Structure 1
Amino acid sequence: MLNEISQIKRPILGEEIPIVIFRAFRHFSANYTNDLIGERGANIIFQNAGRDLGKEVSLLIKDEKLDKYLENVQKFVRDAKIGIIIPVEVSHNHIILQLDECITCAGMPNIGKRICHFEVGFAAGLVESFMGKKVKAFESKCGANGEGICEVTLELNNV
């Protein structure tokens, strides 16, 4: 799917859009999905969609060595203006990644909840593709929850 949606023909308007427009599409979709199937179901849908995208992107940036792969992930995420990935901890049991300047929530006021479910899934898909197995992923911090930065914790042995 990534190949198809990457084909953009906007000779006058170009490829870039303001983040507020991206956020409007994203947040209105999330709110509508919440209303239809409930918050838990909507969060799962967004996380699974992110996971699928992470798996597709992993094919573009793959490497056999974890440190080089993480460098590729950092470069892709920054170049795509999704945010700035900061690896906090990498061990045999878990990986903790922070996402500074998160496209979904950086600069938002504290709304009292974590909302970056797509990014959680995206990180999970990237790690699952590298490891060749499922991982458990959750958002351990979120800018929209007043925590200053987004953070994804990936548990590697608990699935």
Structure 2
Amino acid sequence: MQKYAFKWAMLGDIEKGRPNLGGTTTVATYRLMQYCLRDAMEKHVGAEVTDQIFQEAGMLAGAAVYNQFIAGNQELNPFLMALKDILLDLGIGIVRVEKADAETGELILTVSEDLDCSGVPETGESVCTFDEGFIKAVLESFSGRNYDVKEIDCWSTGEKTCRFRAVIIDDEA
């Protein structure tokens, strides 16, 4: 049995719980948790499994954000606008759609000022596996189709924006 199965309600009543500090924190605090968690996980299960877990966590978050803020958009353009707006409002990043093919379902999205990596040291490795899962789940929730999402550019590989390619891999999610 899971001890902490995710539900939106787990975010709690932030106004009640943090009456002075509120719902904001610094990017450094978020990254401190993310990268320390990643470090500890890699020591126990290795980098590949850690990436899989981060992607799965991103999928949980993406589906939750879709259901909480975006659901109901039936057309591609209003959906993409809602996605851009909510990611900006949540401080996750600035999304730009480079390609959106309604016929094939292929999308190329960039996320500038990405919460996960913009400004981190260059390592030669893409680090946005959480974002891959997040985008995958949002697209699948919207379309009902199964997507493969890969980060093709990342700040940590020397780019100044994160770029993701999403393609449909199956007609059923």
Shift of 1:6: 4.6
Deviation at 1:109, TM superposition (A): 2.0
Mapped partners of 1:135, 1:7: distance in 2: 33
Correspondent of 1:149 among 161, 167, 173: 161
Aligned partner of 1:61: which letter? I
Q: 1:126 aligns with which of 138, 141, 154?
A: 138
Deviates more, 1:76-85 or 1:11-20: 11-20
Number of aligned positions between the proteins = 159
Is residue 112 of structure 1 aligned with residue 120 of structure 2? no
Deviations 1:73-99 (A, max 9, x none): 000000000000011111114111110
- Equivalent-residue separation in structure 2 for 1:146 and 1:3 (angstroms): 38
For structure 2, the residue ranges without an aligned partner over 5 or more in a row are 1-6
Deviation track 1:97-149 (CA, whole Å, cap 9, x = no partner) reads 11000011111221221001111110000000011122111111110111111
Q: Which amino acid aligns with 2:151?
A: E
Distance verdict in 2 for CA 1:93–1:12, change over 3 Å: closer
Tell me how far apart the structure 1 counterparts of residues 18 and 60 of structure 2 sit (CA, whole Å): 26
Q: Does residue 1:18 correspond to 2:30, yes or no? A: no
Alignment partner, residue 61 of structure 1: 70
* 2:111 match: secondary structure: strand
Return the letter of the residue paired with 1:106.
S
Aligned residue number for residue 78 of structure 1: 88
Instruction: Name the aligned partner's letter for residue 47 of structure 1.
Output: Q
1:4 alignment partner in structure 2: 10
Name the aligned partner's letter for residue 2 of structure 1. W
Runs of 4 or more above 6 Å deviation: none
Quick one: which of 108, 111, 126 aligns to 1:96?
A: 108
Aligned to 2:4: none
Distance 1:146 1:20 in 2: 20
Normalising by the residue count of structure 2, what TM-score does the alignment of the two structures yield? 0.87
**Equivalent pairs: percent with the same residue?**
26
CA RMSD of aligned residues (A): 1.4
Q: How far did residue 4 of structure 1 move?
A: 2.8
For residues 146 and 56 of structure 1, what CA distance do their matches in structure 2 show?
31
Unaligned stretches of 5+ residues in structure 1: none
